[in-house]
Amino acid sequence: MLKVYAPGFDDYSRLGPVDKARKQALALMELPTFGVPTPRCLGLAVEGGEAALVMERMVALPFTRAHRVEAARVLARLHSVEIRDFSHDLADLASRSTPNRGRIGEAPDQPPLREIALQHGDYFSVNLAATAEGLRVLDWDLLALGDPMWDLGFLLSADRGVEEQEAAAVIAAYRDLHPINDNRLAWQRRCWETFWQLR
């Protein structure tokens, strides 16, 4: 797979194309160490203000309920990683990145956010490849520090029609490995309910 980063490319992280590509390449190389499976990075090329990233080709299988539950376990492992555990370069790029669209999960009816964790930023089936070798997490462009419940809310609600029984299994799998802020997760899910009502 080839991904090209050029000026004008959607850059919610506000890093610019070259640093964004570097962050993705480093994430692909370092995250598997922490139990977060990714495609293998095969190469990164930079020229001027543009970059290109080559990743292994994967054959994706249909995304099932079991994959969503496994994705919750992977997500809990990501949220347990401390940014200081990364290489200096990846820690710098992730800490300088703006969370998805500048939102870290502020909730007007909630107390100030206390827990900040590494956040994928776009964690749902589009960026989760079910393969014969297991789940792979794609698209680390938005890796930043933010509210971990943003990611869990995405996994539960960005795909329309996730049934409550499946959602309960996802929440239980995540909670086995990482604590959940129930109030913040409920707020994230309410935001998604409103989003789907307005669509």
What value, to the nearest 5°, has the Cα angle with vertex 146 and ends 144 and 152?
A: 105
Residues 62 and 48: their CA atoms lie apart, in Å, by 39
SS (H, E, C) the chain: CEEEECCCCCCCCCCCHHHHHHHHHHHHHHHHHHCCCCCCEEEEEEECCEEEEEECCCCCECCCHHHHHHHHHHHHHHHHCCHHHCCHHHHHHHHHCCCHHHCCCCCCCCCCCCCCEEECCCCCHHHEEEECCEEEECCCCCCEEECHHHHHHHHHHCCCCCCHHHHHHHHHHHHCCCCCCHHHHHHHHHHHHHHHHHC
* The model's pTM: 0.91
Q: What is the pLDDT of residue 10?
A: 63
Q: Among 74, 195, 91, 194, which Cα is nearest to 143's?
A: 91
| Contact between residue 79 and residue 155 where contact means Cβ atoms under 8 Å apart | no
Angle of the 182-198 helix axis to the 148-157 helix axis, nearest 10: 40
pLDDT, one tens digit for every residue, the chain (199 residues): 889 988 876 667 688 899 999 999 999 999 999 999 999 999 999 998 899 999 999 998 999 999 999 999 999 999 999 999 999 999 999 999 987 755 555 555 655 556 789 999 999 999 999 999 999 999 999 999 988 999 999 999 999 989 999 999 999 999 999 999 998 899 899 989 998 888 7
Query: What domains are there in the chain, each with its CATH number?
Result: 59-198 (3.90.1200.10)
Tokens of 187: 């707020």
Phi and psi, residue 80, nearest 5°: -90, -10
Q: What's the rounded Cα separation, in Å, for the pair 185 and 160?
A: 17
Query: In sequence order, what are the beta bridge partners of 30?
Result: none
Residue 130 contacts residue 67 (beta carbons within 8 Å): yes
**pLDDT attached to residue 1:** 87
